Amino acid sequence: MENKLPKVLIIDDDKFLLNMYSIKFSKNGFEVNSASSGEEALGKIKEGYAPDIVLLDIVMPGMDGFEILDNLKKNNLVPNAMIIMLTNQGQLADIEKAKSFGINGYIIKATTIPSEVVEEVERIYNLQKKTEVKQ
Ligand SMILES: [Mg+2]
């Protein structure tokens, strides 16, 4: 059986967090790519980078997470990726808005330590994989 590392694209304007999560996911068996803006992320995707998982911040200068989400979904840019919000926006309105785009998960950074973020992403990813096998 082919055993490829899951490819995760982390989008966050906070360089410290971006670096920290990149290291954490790399150490846990993911192939990591990162972008500090929506423009950079969409550029990578349009050049052919196809992540299995997109971790998406909401509050960012330039395009915010919702605009990126809208762009990804409307143009079907990552049809095979699961999209998980990784944000400090914990308001129900933000969660509902993100869910309306058809996301796969929502993690609040402030209340989730990095190792738990990795565990939650793995849980969502494995759940989805199982579902795909069943279908
Ligand atoms: Mg941010």
Q: What is the pLDDT of residues 19-57, one digit of tens each?
A: 999 999 999 999 999 999 999 999 999 999 999 999 999
Q: Which residues have a beta carbon within 5 Å of ligand 1, which is an ion? A: 13, 57, 59-60
Name the one residue in this structure whose structure tokens are 């349009």: 46
CB 51 within 8 A of CB 3: no
Q: What is the pLDDT of residues 53-87, one digit of tens each?
A: 999 999 999 999 999 999 999 999 999 999 999 99
Distance from the alpha carbon of residue 21 to the mean position of ligand 1, in angstroms: 13
Predicted local confidence at residue 134, as pLDDT = 61
Q: What is the pLDDT of residues 72-128, one digit of tens each?
A: 999 999 999 999 999 999 999 999 999 999 999 999 999 999 999 999 999 999 988
Q: pTM for the complete prediction?
A: 0.94
Give the separation between CA 114 and CA 40, rounded to whole angstroms. 23
Angle in degrees, 0-180, between the axes of helices 65-74 and 38-46, rounded to the nearest 10: 20
Domain 7-134 class, CATH top level: alpha beta
Predicted local confidence at residue 3, as pLDDT = 67
User: pLDDT tier at 131 (50, 70, 90 boundaries)?
Assistant: confident
Distance from the alpha carbon of residue 27 to the mean position of ligand 1, in angstroms: 23
**Domain boundaries defined on the chain:** 7-134
